[in-house]
Amino acid sequence: MRILIADDDLMSVRMMERILVLAGYEVVVADNGHDAMQHLQSPDGPRLALLDWMMPELDGPEVCRELRKDADRPYIYIVLLTSKDSKEDLVMALEAGADDFLTKPCNAGELKARLRTGHRILLLEDKLVEAREEMRFKATHDMLTGLWNRGAVQAALSYELRRLHREQSSVAVLLCDVDHFKSVNDSYGHLVGDDVLREVADRLHNAVRPGDVVGRYGGEEFLVVLRNCDHLLVVEAAERVRTTIASTPIQVRGRSLAIAISIGATVAEHSERVLVPEVLIGEADRMLYRAKQEGRNRVVISETIV
């Protein structure tokens, strides 16, 4: 693991560096507080730091306070080094954001033991962050397809409608439904059906622009939110989505299945009022119903601009 030693006392640095290299650490050295900050704030900076209390430019407590202002960065375990040993100094170090406090000159065994504690804490911190991100992903994504789930894609549409009101831009909605999907489940089973939905989801995601949003709306329905897409552009975008699904059979579990989707689309442009997602989704749903009635595997776009 990488560790920063920040100290302007060259002899002290060399002594600690020798101990830590023998203990298996990769050591980075700074001789002032400004350089220490640069090392620790870099994208791949050390997560363990030994900071001398008294340093040029920024002292150890100042470095601690600056680092703790950025709560979004990965946690850095900081040990302050000083010749001070009063309770008041310990309290000051901890209040500045230090995790531990060592009196110089450091005992080699104690130094390594304190750093092992810091390493364990960082591992626990990483596990907590990983668990939090996993929970966040599960809360916003559909577990079968990996796309945004219904709540998340509706929230994305709501955001775009507020932006539409502020910037007088445009947004289009595509409501897509896999044609004859029940017959896929009935004929081949739900595992094949799940594989078909995953492949449809991948193709939908690849058929839209990077800034657009694709989510699973429910069952075999998918909702696509197209940013800055007016009534002229939505025709091309919706047809591209449809042909991306229908042009090539889906290969699944040794079978080649011809799968198509029907799409209902609507557009909101230059609204003077803040629209709600249900308005656009409701209109797209009506267009989807027409697409099904007219023979499926087609796009029907509302002539009404919301």
The Cα-based distances of 153 to 162, 164, 200, 203 in angstroms read 14, 16, 17, 17
Task: Answer whether 261's CB lies under 8 Å from 242's CB.
Answer: yes
Tokens of 295: 């023979």
Among 94-98, 178-182, 236-240, 264-268, which stretch is predicted with the lowest mean pLDDT? 94-98
Mean pLDDT score, 34-53: 90
| Residue 284 confidence (pLDDT) above 80 | yes
What's the pTM?
Answer: 0.71
**Catalytic residue numbers?**
220
**Cα–Cα distance between 297 and 262 in angstroms, integer?**
5
Q: Whats the size of the chain, residue-wise? A: 306
Tokens of 221: 């329905």
CATH architecture of 150-305: 2-Layer Sandwich (3.30)
What per-residue confidence (pLDDT) applies to 103?
Answer: 82
| Residue 159 confidence (pLDDT) above 80 | yes
What per-residue confidence (pLDDT) applies to 275?
Answer: 83
What per-residue confidence (pLDDT) applies to 272?
Answer: 67
**Cα–Cα distance between 28 and 7 in angstroms, integer?**
11
Task: Answer whether 173's CB lies under 8 Å from 266's CB.
Answer: yes
Tokens of 79: 């040990």
What per-residue confidence (pLDDT) applies to 70?
Answer: 82
Task: Give the CATH superfamily of 2-135.
Answer: Response regulator (3.40.50.2300)
Q: How confident is the model at residue 305 (pLDDT cuts 50, 70, 90)?
A: low
Q: Using DSSP, state whether 52 is helix, strand or coil.
A: strand
How would you label 225-264 residue by residue, b for 16+ Cβ within 10 Å and e otherwise?
A: bbbbbbbeebbebbeebbebbbeeebebeeeebebbbbbb
The Cα-based distances of 144 to 35, 193, 217, 281 in angstroms read 47, 11, 12, 22
- Domain boundaries defined on the chain: 2-135, 150-305
**Strand pairing class (299-305; 261-269):** parallel
DSSP class of 268: E
Radius of gyration of the chain, Cα coordinates, nearest whole angstrom: 29
The Cα-based distances of 2 to 50, 60, 66, 86 in angstroms read 11, 19, 20, 30
Task: Answer whether 53's CB lies under 8 Å from 84's CB.
Answer: yes
**Cα–Cα distance between 162 and 270 in angstroms, integer?**
11
Mean pLDDT score, 123-150: 92
**Cα–Cα distance between 225 and 211 in angstroms, integer?**
9
The Cα-based distances of 42 to 39, 47, 76, 302 in angstroms read 6, 11, 12, 51
Q: How confident is the model at residue 299 (pLDDT cuts 50, 70, 90)?
A: very high
